[in-house]
Amino acid sequence: MKRAKWDAKFKACRERDIDFSTVSGLPVRPLYTPADIAGFEHDRDLGYPGEFPYVRGVQTSMYRGRLWTMRQFSGFGTAGDTNRRYKYLLKHGQTGLSVAFDFPTLYGRDSDDPFARGEVGKCGVAIDSLQDMETLFSSIPLDKISTSMTINPPAAMLLAMYIAVGEKQKLPAHILTGTIQNDMLKEYQAQKTWIYPPEPSLKIIADILEYCAERVPRWNTISISGYHIREAGSTAVQELAFTLKNGFTYVERGISAGLPVDKFAPRLSFFFNAHLDFFEEIAKYRAARRIWAHTMRDKYGAQDPRSYLMRFHTQTAGCTLTAQQPENNIVRTAYQALSAVLGGTQSLHTNSMDESYALPTEKAVKIALRTQQLLAYETGVPNTIDPMAGSYYVEALTNELEREAYKYFEKIDKMGGVIPAIEKGYFQKEISRSAYSYQVALERQRKHHVGVNIFTEDEKPAIETLKIPPAVEKVQIAKLRRLRRERNNQRVKEKLRLLRKAAKDGENLMPRILDCVRAYATLGEMCSTLKEEYGVYREPIIF
């Protein structure tokens, strides 16, 4: 049968009354054929696993060699509470740690800061000083695990604390492995956790790149994150384009700080969202690898393949979890996890079913972890490398996402780059528009969310949730005050003075921060010191 004939027959059929587009709004045709990927050449466009342009994956053997790292993001209450949860997860087969900090920590404020009221230990673990960090990793040998820390404005301080914990465990910094998120650009664009204005923030990031290249060479210095851009409501294309553009901006900063690109680029990694639209997500990961490889090699002159192969972590989309019929979240998350694995992720976090209510209970976390283990050990999915390659639809979608991303790059360049675009509120506007139009599509029944606007039920689900006792705040504050009484305050003051001076003189801050940390200066003290020098950021308000 010829195509034209099929088209005619198809036209005569009735289609369901929904929008046939991806969740991001890209139109989807009823059928994809070789015509949709005309000119496609496997070796050139995809390459072999572990080979340029890495569309089929960044390692030669991919999951045949080693499964992805199962890394559940976790943290709550005091350092002691979280330490117990970590030991539980490691016992159940988790292979890496991922620290969730509470809001005051994320903003570089101490637990007794007026702004911290009601927030201590709520959304993550409260860390005020090295003392808390010692508790957090108590009897967890840092040479046996890798640790990811979701921390941005105070990333340098938390990394310094981790290094200092290593010192106490008699481990040199150069064997430590892990990641700090340290991606400030997406904070201004989407996640909105900031302290200083963009310029000093990027300066600190460049300091970290430089320091780690010498002293902590196995540390992933920036986890360039699309996850939060997506959670804030962007489309898949925007997530892809903004994240990569941010990545290139860091690369440019590193280069202009005088670092050779191959010296720091191998330690850059990425972090993406796994959202609802199965194929679109797979195409997104594949397009991301191709763009990064080409641009890093051809535009920024990287020669070490590790500089242009893109490694990334994935988390299933928190914003897609429903409070309604929460058990459905287990299934939803499983599909999302499958897309991440088919997209070739290096590590994965699966959300727990109860997370639209509170931080997850132990049981819910275990099911989430088991979801990954099922995928790894039962489904056979990891048996062959990149099984989606050659699918007309997936390849066409990969090409389309790539094309659209380049259009965004051009627009951003025209605005003078990422920072001027942030100051104009460009990203914020793009993201909130996408978020609103998705909401409108849901309310008009053009898109569906099970349990929310279709197959809804009236009864309120009875679900057990994790409670953070209010005493946590009191306990944490008491501990902090005791520390301030008992430490050598003269020494703290002196180290903070030197930090301020280094900031003023434009020196690399890392050694000074490490000195402060070792003297048990608190996170809030260090950040306030830098605030005095750098000022604070004000957001432009854009709808």
Interaction residues for other proteins, span 357-386 (CB under 8 A): 357-359
Can you tell me which of 33, 60, 379, 465 binds other proteins, judged by CB under 8 A?
A: 465
Secondary structure class of 324 (helix, strand, coil): coil
Are 131 and 520 within 8 A, CB to CB?
Answer: yes
Using the rule CB under 8 A, give the single segment among 177-185, 237-245, 437-445, 519-527 that binds other proteins.
437-445
Nearer residue to other proteins within complex by CB, 231 or 404:
231
Can you tell me which of 104, 154, 344, 524 binds other proteins, judged by CB under 8 A?
A: 104
Q: How far is CA 85 from CA 61, 72, 105, 120, 278, in A?
A: 33, 11, 19, 18, 31
Are 341 and 375 within 8 A, CB to CB?
Answer: yes
Quote the CA–CA distance of 305 and 297 in Å, as a whole number: 8
Can you tell me which of 432, 500, 518, 533 binds other proteins, judged by CB under 8 A?
A: 432
Closest CA to 348 of 243, 425, 272: 272
Nearer residue to other proteins within complex by CB, 144 or 467:
467
AA letter at 474: K
Can you tell me which of 73, 103, 248, 308 binds other proteins, judged by CB under 8 A?
A: 103
Interaction residues for other proteins, span 315-354 (CB under 8 A): 319, 321-324
Q: Does 123 bind other proteins (CB under 8 A)?
A: yes
Q: Does 101 bind other proteins (CB under 8 A)?
A: no
Instruction: Tell me the number of residues near other proteins by CB under 8 A.
Output: 48
Are 173 and 205 within 8 A, CB to CB?
Answer: no
The C-alpha R_g of the chain, in whole angstroms, comes to 23
Query: Helices in 31-124 by DSSP H: which ranges?
Result: 62-65, 79-91, 103-106
Can you tell me which of 233, 266, 344, 382 binds other proteins, judged by CB under 8 A?
A: 233
Quote the CA–CA distance of 302 and 405 in Å, as a whole number: 21
Q: How many Cα atoms are found within 13 Å in the side-chain-facing hemisphere of 38? A: 2
Q: Does 77 bind other proteins (CB under 8 A)?
A: no
Quote the CA–CA distance of 320 and 147 in Å, as a whole number: 26
Quote the CA–CA distance of 70 and 78 in Å, as a whole number: 24
Compute the least distance from the CB of residue 405 to other proteins, in Å: 22
Secondary structure class of 99 (helix, strand, coil): strand
Cα dihedral 90, 92, 98, 103 sign: negative
Q: Does 231 bind other proteins (CB under 8 A)?
A: yes
Using the rule CB under 8 A, give the single segment among 327-335, 452-460, 495-503, 510-518 that binds other proteins.
452-460
DSSP strand pairing (73-74 vs 69-70): unpaired
Window 172-201: contact mask with other proteins (x via CB under 8 A): ---------------x---xxx--------
Nearer residue to other proteins within complex by CB, 465 or 489:
465
Compute the least distance from the CB of residue 324 to other proteins, in Å: 6
Can you tell me which of 468, 513, 519, 526 binds other proteins, judged by CB under 8 A?
A: 468
Can you tell me which of 226, 343, 451, 524 binds other proteins, judged by CB under 8 A?
A: 451
Where do contacts with other proteins occur on this chain (CB under 8 A)?
103-104, 106-107, 109, 114-119, 122-123, 187, 191-193, 231-233, 319, 321-324, 356-359, 424, 432, 435-436, 439, 442-443, 449, 451-453, 460, 465, 468, 470, 538-539, 541, 543
